[in-house]
Structure 1
Amino acid sequence: MDLSPADLLARLVAFPSVCRRPNGEIVAFAKDRLEALGAAVTVLPGPEGDRANLFASFGPRDRPGYVLSGHLDVVPADQDGWTGDPFTLRRRDGRLIGRGACDMKGFVATVLSALAALPADLERPLHVALSYDEEIGCVGVRHLLARLPDLCAPPLGAIIGEPSELRPVLRHKGKVAGKITLRGRAGHSSRPDLAENAIHLAAEAVLAIRDLHARFAADGPFHHDFAPPVSTLQVGIIAGGSGVNIVPDACRLDWEARAVPGVDPAAIEAQVEAAVAGIVAGRDLASAECETLAAYPALDLPGGSDLARLVADLAGHAPEGAVSYGTEAGLFQAAGIPAIICGPGSIAEAHRPDESIAEAELAECRALLLRLFDRLT
């Protein structure tokens, strides 16, 4: 049972657990490993029917303890630039290369390795939470958190092992992404007066989103741990029309907002939707449909909290104020569980061809986990 993090990472990378796809095989592997180590394991199928979360516990579940949290899904590996099979782990110059090696199967593999050294006489429990479809908006963990009160006493905290170079991170922005479909009436371009140009409507929506972003940049609220220190909005996709001589009857745009702590992403979404409603109001041939694509709250853990002090001590590094990427940590915090980010690897390696992690950093993460285990006895 004493397998190294690299051994287990090779096994995990071999599962092509790309988001939005079935994940039964990798969940079964993790379940077998955890049960062999003595955990009480619960597999929690999601509403999709072909994906599941996993929650495992060691020690007395009726007492508050700590959660080690990671996601099992990865982004697709279809970009150019891979120098080998993305789902076969390779070693090169002290680094381990494969899709998910950094984000974030490296952390999961290290947890599954270190647990072989977990003491049997725990006074406080240790839990492992493994989720699905984090990469498309933290989908699976919401269902896991809904079940958590049935599975254990309220945890003292959760360590989210996203790549942070093993520096504890206290904060990240929240996010909301949406799709807006503007509809008009098609017609011949020689008679635009008889039609309603949906691309023109979408252009007004783009300008409204741009202006809302500019207002946040000028007026705040400001949070100077972040760069930029304000909530941001942008349009990332726009698509419509079929020919230059046809007035288009539909146009879609996808937009995203990143919200500083203290700003509810849903409130930004409401402002965007109100602006769009104003654009189509009073136009008989125009309408708009708005859809939420993804959303999660910000993380904002006080630097003086017990969890922040604990993880800083375990890691040997003072907490960092903020990161620009998002994680499941905000959802743990929203569920009443203090959460902090601390995991091996650099976010600069995530989602890129030849994604990699230093084998030495997995060893450092394993040592951190062993120090945590000592605190539970």
Structure 2
Amino acid sequence: MTPETILADLVACADLPGDSNARVADCVLGHLRRAGLDPHVMPGPEGDRVNIFASIGPRDVPGMILSGHMDVVPGEGQPWTSDPFRLTEREGKLHGRGATDMKGFLACMLAAIPNFRAARLERPLHLAFSYDEEIGCRGVGHMIAALPDLVAPPFGCIVGEPTDMRPVLSHKGKQSTRLTMTGRPAHSSRPDDGVNAIYASAEMLLAIRDLNATLASDGPFDPRFDPPHSTAVAGVVRGGTAVNIIPDHAEIDMEVRCIPGQTAADVTALVVQRLEGLTGTGAALSVSTEVLSSYPALPPAEDKALSELLERLTGHAPVQSVSFGTEAGLFYAAGIPSIVCGPGNIGRAHRPDEYILPEELGDCMAMLRGLASELAA
């Protein structure tokens, strides 16, 4: 089957992160089994979501992983010209939710199976399909933890996020955290009888703003990234029920993105320290935190073998870094050299009328044919 045909099947599966991925998983499993593979279905702890892992070639020698996530962001509320969950061709573009991010790469993975099976691989190829990437890379860690029981330690991993088929060496790490402040309600005519949680949240918003300014001025710095330093941002604020009630509850959802060498958890800890300091004033205020999602940075590998391989396969020189995060950081943290390279452009992701070009799928298929030759040599 062509990648375009498989992509149409995948786009029609409107499975969103945080919910069951039964439809898209069944679609992937169907293509794998019809191609003659015996995939591992790996349920996550949520009970309604699975990772999928399949191998071609000998499993007792180091091989290469091709990795991609099955979930997509919603299309609801966006001004789509066509049904986001039906692949639609217009003016040479293949439109559909996930066409670029990143079902285009999944379609190429599946379409390339006959090439890999015919190549009589001396080193194996592993196909990894994960869930819940779009809400913080929550699924792939369970699959990575199971790999030692399935295959020999892989020598590399290609995460096929959209990079215009340019190999990307590194990206920042991320942690998103919810800060919760609980005070005491009161009638607005007697504010001293209550403890205003929104005022506490205002102090924390300023603390996050000031921390971001400190990171920008004092570093540490890494010129491979834009911006060349870690960042801290408050993205969502909730609090209050009515103007005549002293609010007893407020929340801030914040994120930290860190350059390699600095962890998002360490930077977030500075905010948490400030938050916990709010309870030392004698006021009846309590605080708590919840990590919503987290993944590590992908630093450029010291060993150039993987980047040199992708440069040969794609014809493109490596790109030092990108601003978005991927599951590659988690593979790297598990000791698997990783690189990001896939069809499409990240600028089309998460937007209405997302699309991929047939020639971009063709370039990805050419890269995979070259990879088959490398693994057979």
Q: TM-score, normalised by structure 2?
A: 0.97
Residue deviations 1:182-236 (CA, integer Å, cap 9, x gap): 1111112222222211110000111111111111111101011111111001111
Q: Is the 8 A contact 2:41 2:52 kept in 1?
A: yes
**Residue pairs, 1:322-333, within 5 angstroms:** 322-333=321-332
SS in 1 for 2:223: coil
Determine if the alignment matches structure 1 residue 296 to structure 2 residue 295.
yes
Partner of 2:88: 90
Q: How many angstroms apart in 1 are the aligned matches of 2:302 and 2:372?
A: 22
1:10 paired with 2:2, answer: no
* 2:132 equivalent to 1:133: yes
Aligned equivalent of 2:347: 348
The residue aligned with 2:266 is 267
Q: Distance in 1 between matches of 2:247 and 2:85?
A: 43
List alignment gaps of at least 5 residues for structure 1.
Answer: none
**Correspondence 1:192-341 to 2 at 5 A:** 192-302=191-301, 304-341=303-340
Q: Is the 8 A contact 2:171 2:259 kept in 1?
A: yes
**Structure 1 CA distance for aligned equivalents of residues 249 and 26 of structure 2:** 45
The whole-number CA distance in structure 2 between the counterparts of 1:103 and 1:22 is 19
Residue of structure 2 in register with 1:35 after alignment: 33
* Separation in structure 2 between the aligned mates of residue 17 and residue 313 of structure 1, nearest angstrom: 35
**Aligned AA for 1:359?**
P
Does the 8 Å contact 1:94/1:360 carry over to 2? no
Amino acid in structure 2 at the alignment position of 1:26? V
Q: Aligned-pair distance for 1:120? A: 4.5
* SS of 1:47 mapped into structure 2: coil
The alpha carbon displacement at 1:354 in A equals: 0.8
Segments of structure 2 that go 5 or more residues without pairing to the other structure are none
How many residues align? The count is 375
Alignment of 1:347-366 (within 5 A): 347-366=346-365
Matches within 5 A, 1:173-192: 173-192=172-191
Q: What root-mean-square deviation, in Å, do the aligned CA atoms of Structure 1 and Structure 2 show?
A: 1.1
Q: TM-score, normalised by structure 1?
A: 0.97
Alignment partner, residue 105 of structure 1: 103
Partners of 1:16 and 1:191 in 2: how far apart?
Answer: 51
The equivalent position to 1:62 in structure 2, one of 54, 60, 81, is 60
Mapped partners of 2:220, 2:39: distance in 1: 43
* Residue matched to 1:77: 75
- The share of aligned pairs that are identical, in percent, is 51
Equivalents in 2 of 1:341, 1:170: separation in Å?
Answer: 7
Contact 1:205 1:279 in 2 (8 A): no
Aligned to 1:149: 148
Per-residue CA deviation, residues 129-178 of structure 1 (Å, 9 max, x unaligned), is: 00000000001101000101011000000000000000000011100001
In the alignment, is the contact (CA less than 8 A) between 2:195 and 2:248 conserved in 1?
Answer: yes
**Residue aligned with 2:100, SS:** coil
**Which residue number in structure 2 is paired with residue 376 of structure 1?**
375
For the 8 Å contact 2:41–2:51, the answer to whether it is kept is: yes
Asked if the contact 2:99–2:356 (Cα under 8 Å) also holds between the matched residues in 1, the reply is yes
- Which whole-Å deviations, capped at 9, do the CAs of 1:45-67 have from their partners, x for residues lacking one? 01111110000000000000100
1:79 offset after TM fit, Å? Answer: 2.4
- How far did 1:88 drift? 0.6
2:208/2:233 contact within 8 Å kept: yes
1:270-300 deviations in whole A, cap 9, x for unaligned? 1111110012223331111111111100011
Question: Residue 144 of structure 2: SS of its match in structure 1?
Answer: helix
Amino acid aligned to 1:51: R
For residues 62 and 138 of structure 2, the distance between their equivalents in structure 1, rounded to whole angstroms, comes to 25
Q: Distance in 2 between matches of 1:59 and 1:162?
A: 24
Q: Is the 8 A contact 2:301 2:337 kept in 1?
A: no
Counterpart CA distance in 2 for 1:267 and 1:99 is: 35
SS at match of 1:211: helix
How far, CA to CA, are the matches of 1:163 and 1:18 in structure 2? 19
Distance 1:303 1:360, change over 3 A: farther
State whether residues 119 and 373 of structure 2, in contact with CA within 8 Å, keep that contact through their aligned partners in structure 1: no
Are the equivalent residues in 2 in contact too, given 1:303–1:309 (CA < 8 A)? Answer: no
C-alpha displacement at 1:311, in angstroms?
0.8
Question: Deviation at 1:303?
Answer: 6.5
